[in-house]
């Protein structure tokens, strides 16, 4: 158990809809990362927050947004969903922003129909 | 542009033998490298890491080797066990990447009896 909690585990929704994925980092970790894994692909970095502030952005679409709250949990909002957004979305956390391992949750599987 | 490459999508090894998983990178700014293991329906689990100031790091049955001049790293598992069957991801981070990890596409290892 990595200590990172993601909810929900599965989400099925229709095109055009909006969903929110939630992540609680490991106790004490200040940094939260979001990754997307499409079918048979590697993990693509979306966005990072550190202690409530956005720290780095990757290949995140404009339809997607995220935030980290004062209690350090994070939410990833996906809107105007398209079929191609179907993927596994992983959240990870780490203690610092310097080189340290990321600890991953078990992901949210999003299916857009 | 795939900055971290795992050119072998799959590898099959007999139990008790050595498993060698390879990874190449192109970004000279990478200075911290990690290996993750992923079972189905779970998030990636941190296995072992190496900083660019070293060329070898060992943890039990797992050893990571780094060849900076060749921009190549490898993970050795000795002896391989059936429980090691999983997808292994190589990842890298470095200066200016805010510790976000860039992942390879993974190698599926199957350890046979």
Q: Which chain B positions have a beta carbon within 8 Å of A33's beta carbon?
A: 100-101
Predicted pLDDT at A97? 64
Q: pLDDT tens-digit profile of A47-96?
A: 999 999 999 898 899 999 999 999 999 999 999 999 999 999 999 999 87
Least confident range of A100-104, B33-37, B55-59: A100-104
Task: Give me the percent of chain A exceeding a pLDDT of 90.
Answer: 81
**Euclidean distance between CA atoms A30 and A32, whole angstroms:** 7
Confidence of residue B99 (pLDDT cuts 50, 70, 90): low
Tell me, yes or no, if A5 comes closer than 8 A to chain B by beta carbon: no
Average pLDDT over residues B16-23: 98
Q: Which chain A positions have a beta carbon within 8 Å of B104's beta carbon?
A: 42
Residue of A nearest to B47 (CA): A101
User: Residues of chain B whose C-beta is under 8 A from some C-beta in A?
Assistant: 4, 31-32, 34, 36, 41-46, 49, 51, 89, 93-94, 97-106
Instruction: Answer yes or no: are the C-beta atoms of A4 and A104 closer than 8 Å.
Output: yes
DSSP 8-class letter at A26: P
What is the residue-averaged pLDDT of chain A? 93
DSSP 8-class letter at A39: T
For residue A10, pLDDT beyond 90: yes
Q: Which chain A positions have a beta carbon within 8 Å of B93's beta carbon?
A: 99
Predicted pLDDT at B97? 55
Instruction: Answer yes or no: are the C-beta atoms of B103 and A43 closer than 8 Å.
Output: yes
Average pLDDT over residues A12-37: 95
Supply A60's token pair: 């995140």
State the nearest Cα–Cα gap between A43 and chain B, in angstroms.
6
State the nearest Cα–Cα gap between A90 and chain B, in angstroms.
7
State the nearest Cα–Cα gap between B27 and chain A, in angstroms.
16
Confidence of residue A1 (pLDDT cuts 50, 70, 90): confident
Predicted pLDDT at B89? 96
Tell me, yes or no, if A58 comes closer than 8 A to chain B by beta carbon: yes
For residue A99, pLDDT beyond 80: no
For residue A4, pLDDT beyond 90: yes
Task: Report residue A84: phi and psi, to 5°.
Answer: -70, -10
Tell me, yes or no, if A53 comes closer than 8 A to chain B by beta carbon: no
For residue B37, pLDDT beyond 70: yes
Confidence of residue A41 (pLDDT cuts 50, 70, 90): confident
Name which of A41, A58, A104 is nearest B105 (Cβ-Cβ).
Answer: A41
Average pLDDT over residues B79-102: 86
| Sign of the C-alpha dihedral computed for residues A94, B30, A106 and B113 taken in this order | negative
| Contact at CB, B45 and A104, closer than 8 angstroms | yes
């Amino acid at each position: 158990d990595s200590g990172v909690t993601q909810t929900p585990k599965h989400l099925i929704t229709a095109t055009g809809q909006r969903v929110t994925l939630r992540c609680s980092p490991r106790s004490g970790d200040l940094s939260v990362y979001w990754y997307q894994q499409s079918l048979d692909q590697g993990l693509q970095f979306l966005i990072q927050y550190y202690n409530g502030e956005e720290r780095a952005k990757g290949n995140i679409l404009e339809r997607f947004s995220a935030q980290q709250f004062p209690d350090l949990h994070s939410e990833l909002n996906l809107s105007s969903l398209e079929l191609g957004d179907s993927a596994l979305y992983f959240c990870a956390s780490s203690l610092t922003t310097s080189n340290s391992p990321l600890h991953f949750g078990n992901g949210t599987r999003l299916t857009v129909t | 542009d795939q900055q971290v490459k795992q050119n072998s999508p799959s590898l099959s090894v007999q139990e008790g033998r050595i498993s060698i998983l390879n990874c190449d990178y192109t970004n000279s700014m990478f200075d911290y490298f990690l290996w993750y293991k992923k079972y189905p329906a779970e998030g990636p689990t941190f296995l072992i890491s190496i900083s660019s100031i070293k060329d070898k790091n060992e943890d039990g049955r797992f050893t990571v080797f780094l060849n900076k001049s060749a921009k190549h790293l490898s993970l050795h598992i000795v002896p391989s066990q059936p429980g090691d069957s999983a997808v292994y991801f190589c990842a890298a981070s470095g200066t200016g990447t805010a510790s976000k990890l860039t992942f390879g596409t993974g190698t599926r290892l199957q350890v046979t009896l």
